């Protein structure tokens, strides 16, 4: 009887042992499957690095920025009145020119750098950050599923949320501050949608910003397909601009000390006017 009982107990233990092993194996398989799913979800193209503009498809405006859409009669009236009131000419010849005072309009011109200033992309799972060399402008693109806030103030670069659509990062930007000065004036109704993705330079017709002398570009390039709507300023709907960027080999960003020059100019004027002697 004891021998039989031992055999039965041994079989029960063996069955139990197999069950434990199977449960453990299933748990490990489930964990591996979860890890694989997460890895697949995060396996997005790496957009990080310092990028410089190669070209866009709407050449013809100053500073190599794209030609603007057609303004509505009301939009033209608003901007004409602003220019006349403040002597802002938009070509850096007026005393009140914004760029000469280190003031940039934000979106969408930050994506063209006013002549091609570099930009750095820092990529994280829940956020992509764009740092512009021009006037130290910064864009934060939230990828955590949030919606546009109702209590967030308008700002020049707006508020951006994004999501991945396959290998493309789709970004929508709203809450952009109105800007009536030259170079892409806009109302606070402006809405911008972008698609960022990588492709090989051989898939793109490289013309550069000076088509008479196009640059040689190899390797991966970053494409930005931008669609702009602003019923408060522009008559054109779904105005599209495609911009091409190449990664800069040195991967270095320069510091913009524009405001320091303005400060030094004021100091020199103060000194030349005898201000320093009066202060003694």
DSSP state letters, 80-110: HHHHHHHT--SSS-STT-TGGGT----TTGG
- 217 belongs to a structural domain: yes
Cα separation, 229 vs 188, in Å, equals 11
Torsion angle defined by CA atoms of residues 203, 164, 112 and 174, in that order, rounded to the nearest 10 degrees:
150
Residue 139, domain member (yes or no): yes
227 with 155, same domain: the answer is yes
67 belongs to a structural domain: yes
Q: Are residues 117 and 164 in the same domain?
A: yes
- Whether residue 19 sits in one domain with residue 113: no
Q: What is the pTM of this model?
A: 0.80
pLDDT band at 72 (very low <50, low <70, confident <90, very high): very high
Per residue in 10-40, pLDDT (tens digit) is: 665 565 566 555 655 556 566 555 444 444 4
Residue 70 sits in the same domain as residue 8: no
Q: How far is residue 222's CA from residue 53's CA, in Å, rounded to a whole number?
A: 9
pLDDT tens digits, residue range 80-117? 999 889 888 766 555 677 777 788 879 999 999 876 78
pLDDT of residue 37: 42
Task: Give the pLDDT confidence of 223-263 residue by residue, as tens digits.
Answer: 999 999 999 999 999 999 999 999 998 878 888 877 787 78
pLDDT at 92: 56
Q: How confident is the model at residue 197 (pLDDT cuts 50, 70, 90)?
A: very high
On whether both 130 and 243 belong to a single domain, the answer is: yes
Count of domains for the chain? 2
Of residues 198 and 87, more confidently modeled = 198
Instruction: Supply the pLDDT for residue 9.
Output: 57
Looking at the chain, the number of H-run helices and the number of E-run strands are 5, 9
- What is the extent of the structural domain holding 204? 49-260
């Amino acid at each position: 009887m004891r021998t039989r009982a031992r055999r039965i107990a041994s079989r029960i233990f063996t069955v139990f042992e197999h069950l434990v092993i199977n449960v453990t194996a299933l748990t490990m398989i489930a964990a591996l499957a979860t890890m694989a799913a997460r890895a697949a979800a995060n396996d997005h193209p790496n957009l990080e690095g310092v990028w410089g503009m190669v070209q866009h498809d709407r050449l013809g405006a100053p500073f190599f920025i794209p030609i603007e859409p057609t303004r509505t009669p009301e939009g033209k009236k608003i901007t004409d009145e602003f220019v006349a009131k403040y002597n802002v000419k938009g070509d850096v010849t007026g005393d009140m020119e914004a760029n000469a005072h280190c003031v940039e309009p934000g979106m969408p011109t930050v994506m063209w750098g006013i002549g091609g200033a570099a930009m750095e992309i820092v990529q994280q799972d829940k956020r992509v950050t764009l740092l512009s060399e021009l006037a130290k402008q910064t864009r934060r693109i939230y990828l955590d599923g949030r919606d546009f806030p109702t209590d967030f103030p308008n700002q020049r670069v707006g508020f951006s949320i994004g999501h991945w659509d396959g290998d493309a990062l789709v970004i929508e930007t709203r809450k952009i501050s109105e800007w009536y000065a030259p170079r892409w004036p806009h109302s606070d109704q402006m809405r911008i949608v972008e698609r960022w993705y990588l492709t090989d330079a051989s898939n793109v017709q490289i013309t550069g910003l000076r088509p008479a002398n196009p640059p040689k570009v190899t390797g991966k390039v970053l494409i930005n397909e931008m669609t702009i709507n602003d019923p408060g300023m522009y008559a054109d709907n779904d105005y599209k601009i495609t911009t091409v960027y190449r990664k800069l080999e040195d991967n270095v960003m320069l510091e913009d000390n524009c405001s320091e020059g303005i400060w030094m100019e004021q100091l020199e004027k103060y000194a030349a006017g005898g201000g320093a002697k009066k202060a003694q």
